[in-house]
Amino acid sequence: MERRLQAVYKHGALYPLEPLQLQDMQKVTLTITDTSAIDEDLAGYFTPEEWLEAETDTVTWDEVRRALAGISGSLSDAVSAQRQER
């Protein structure tokens, strides 16, 4: 079985950001992709702890639709403007 997932590296250990269906001491093969190099602008916005907290967010599709409906113009322009404010 092959599966992609994200993890956080902290104090010498990898912590997956989602539950894994693995047995204790089960051997797996890891392929590491440094997402900070790929998504450098996004990685700086959130701490690993914030990523872990976000995993349990219960945002509904209706909440997303309402938030997006409040954006005038293009979404990319809104995101760019928000980044410039930071």
Extents of the domains making up the chain? 7-85
Instruction: Check whether 71 has a pLDDT greater than 80.
Output: no
pLDDT in tens, 13-43: 999 998 888 999 999 998 887 766 655 566 5
Task: Tell me the pLDDT band of 12, cut-offs 50, 70 and 90.
Answer: very high
- What is the arithmetic mean of pLDDT over 56-85? 83
The per-residue pLDDT for 25 is 93
The answer to pTM > 0.85 is no
In this predicted model, which residue has the larger pLDDT, 29 or 79?
29
The per-residue pLDDT for 86 is 67
* DSSP state letters, 19-53: -----TT---------HHHHSHHHHTTS-HHHHHH
